[in-house]
Amino acid sequence: MHAEIQFTLNGRASSVRTDPQQSLLDVLRNTLGLKAARAGCNLGQCGACKVLLGDHAVASCDTPMWSVAGKEVTTVEGLGSPEAPHPLQTAFIEEQAMQCGYCTSGLLMSAAALLKRNAHPSEPEIRQALDENLCRCGVHNRVVRAVRKASS
């Protein structure tokens, strides 16, 4: 059974007719064409699919569409733009905080959620906020430096 689900996506009113149980990740990637959130484990454990739901980073792979009705969703595509990148995006580039890039959007969204709650986090707070994001390339130290740079 499909339903019309209305929410705000990257600052714009959006409406999608879908199964309310379908994952937000599926709708973002396959219905709306936003490819930054990645499918990793599909269990909500790797962080590759993280997006902001309000001010909190959530795993979009295990977030059902019914739970986003009336709420604000932000993806990397809405975090900044090529003309006006978010300070985190700039810092990630400057600190070379990516290699393969698969985990990068999830790391950016987790960091953005942290900076919304705490504009000047300590290094342990940054590490804790990024704890649910897995990176096989091992760029965690560069990511921590990038988040610190963006927060200063």
Q: Are 91 and 123 in contact (CB under 8 A)?
A: no
50 to 3, 6, 17, 35, 120: CA distances (angstroms): 24, 20, 22, 12, 21
Pick the CATH number of 87-151 from 2.40.50.1070, 3.40.1030.10, 3.20.20.100, 1.10.150.120: 1.10.150.120
Calpha distance 50→34 (Å, rounded)? 13
Task: Please report, for the chain, the start and end positions of each structural domain, with discontinuous segments joined by +.
Answer: 3-79, 87-151
Q: What is the pLDDT along the chain (152 residues), one digit of tens a residue?
A: 899 999 999 999 999 999 999 999 999 999 999 999 999 999 999 999 999 999 999 999 999 999 999 999 999 999 999 999 999 999 999 999 998 899 999 999 999 999 999 999 999 999 999 999 999 888 999 999 999 999 98
| The domains spanning 3-79 and 87-151 adopt the same CATH topology | no
55 to 7, 10, 21: CA distances (angstroms): 15, 13, 22
One-letter identity of residue 131: D
What does the DSSP 8-state code read for residue 75? -
Which three-class secondary structure state does DSSP give residue 141?
Answer: helix
Sequential DSSP letters for 83-120: SS--HHHHHHHHTT--SS-TTHHHHHHHHHHHHHH-SS
Architecture of the CATH domain 3-79: Roll (3.10)
Side-by-side strand order, sheet with 72-74: 12-18, 3-9, 72-74, 50-53, 56-59
- Tell me the Ramachandran region of residue 109: left when phi exceeds 0, alpha when psi lies from -120 to 50, beta otherwise: alpha
What local confidence, expressed as pLDDT, does residue 137 receive? 87
Count of beta carbons in the 10 Å neighbourhood of residue 90: 15
